[in-house]
Structure 1
Amino acid sequence: MKPALRSNNTGIDSSAIELRLEGAELEPFRQAWAAHRRDDDGSRMLLDSARSFAAIELDRLPPFVRQRLDAIPELIALIGDSDWRLDDKARTDLLAALSYFVDPDDLIPDTQPRYGLLDDALVIDIAIRAQHHEWLAWQEFDRFRRDLRARGDFRPLDRQLWMDARRELLEAGMHRRPSPRYDAALSADRFHRERHSYVSGNGGDTAFGVH
């Protein structure tokens, strides 16, 4: 662990300490994360995690810890999202991080002032990095879904339908410009219009038309 210290004219600014962990230094946290893997569906763990998170006074924590623990509500939402349906490996990985988080007697006891949740923050960070693509894809899916809801479209939307729609939008964009950029809000607007057109009887049988 190599803390990078930034100082000013009055001396070292302790609030500006940055933690840089490398390979072997992360191993104890990886092992602790692995030890918390479970075989159950995790429904109780989601409730316990939500309660534990609600009890934290985030503004009293160091920024490094607070920023990573801020991801916990989204992590709970991802694991419990029936429209997304995580595969078993991703679900087990992310549940293990929450299991570690709710354990008060972990590598650094949670009762330690300010830094008792430092190890929890590291394990959350390791787990999300391990499932980085799944994490980013779900966030994009969730934005897409919320954009649809904002347009008054509450019909079912699942992972496969979103992936099909996303692929069609990207393929359509390739015909219009050399470097298409996927935009969740724009895509949700087009998806909503295409699906409405299909249901009204004016569209073809495409991924956008599934209902």
Structure 2
Amino acid sequence: MAFDITFSLTDTDLTYFKDVMRKACSGAATLDEKSILEKVKALSTEVKTGVPEFVVERLNKLDTLVKMVEDKEWQIPDEERKDVISALAYFGNPTDLIPDHIPALGFLDDAIMIELVVNELHDNIEAYVEFSEYREREKSRKDPSTITTGDWLEAKRKELHNRMYRRRSSRSGRSSFRIF
């Protein structure tokens, strides 16, 4: 039997979580990118069994963020890379707001933070997912003798990076919740 629990975060709650994330982001400056990515990948791999489904669903979103950074063909712009790595730093810390070893509740704070980060990086994630889907479609469709992989990936990457910047710029100043 499934059981739904719904709650809303007030502006005060969002401010609290934003402050926690900012502290984690500032702490990320002392960590190297490789270490952060390894910790998040280990967390995702280790945790996907024996935790509530709502946690697994959100950990899959973290996997997408890691792929964005590691995907050499995506060539994530430096500013976005820094934002993603800073956000991921929070999830590599097993003693965050609610220590991860506490059964059932240990990943509740992580699930909340993942939702906030995914909301904040929505345009980036959407562009990356579209790029990945495009790449897979084009690999099977294009005749390699007519156009190179680099050509069509470069064109799509530029299109999506520009869209990402436009959307982010049009939203700046309008959101009451901004982590980065």
Same fold by TM-score greater than 0.5: yes
Aligned residue pair count: 153
2:58/2:111 contact within 8 Å kept? yes
Once residues 92 and 16 of structure 1 are traced to their aligned partners in structure 2, the CA distance between those partners, rounded to angstroms, is: 35
Q: Which amino acid aligns with 2:150?
A: P
> CA contact under 8 A between 1:62 and 1:114: conserved in structure 2?
yes
- Corresponding residue for 1:97? 87
The alpha-carbon distance between structure 1 residues 27 and 66, as it changes in their structure 2 partners (threshold 3 A), is farther
Aligned to 1:161: 155
Counterpart CA distance in 1 for 2:103 and 2:117 is 24
Q: Structure 1 pair 35/165, CA: closer, same or farther in 2 (3 Å)?
A: closer
How far residue 19 of structure 1 moved from its aligned partner, in angstroms, is: 2.7
What amino acid does structure 2 have at the position aligned with 1:55?
A: E
Q: Answer 1 or 2: which has greater strand percent.
A: 1
Q: 1:33 maps to which residue?
A: 21
- Pick the structure with greater CA Rg: 1
Look up the match of 1:66.
56
C-alpha separation in 2, matches of 1:81 and 1:65? 24
Q: Could you say which structure has the greater relative contact order, defined with CA pairs below 8 angstroms and 6 or more residues apart? A: 2
* Structure 1: stretches of 5+ with no match in the other structure: 1-12, 167-211
Moved more, 119-128 or 150-159: 150-159
Q: Tell me the residue number matched to 1:57.
A: 48
In the alignment, structure 1 residue 116 sits paired with structure 2 residue 126: no
Partner SS state of residue 71, structure 1? helix
Q: Percent identity?
A: 26
Match of residue 176 from structure 1: none
**Which residue identity lines up with residue 15 of structure 1 in the other structure?**
F
Contact 1:98/1:124 (CA < 8 Å) preserved in 2?
no
CA RMSD of aligned residues (A): 2.6
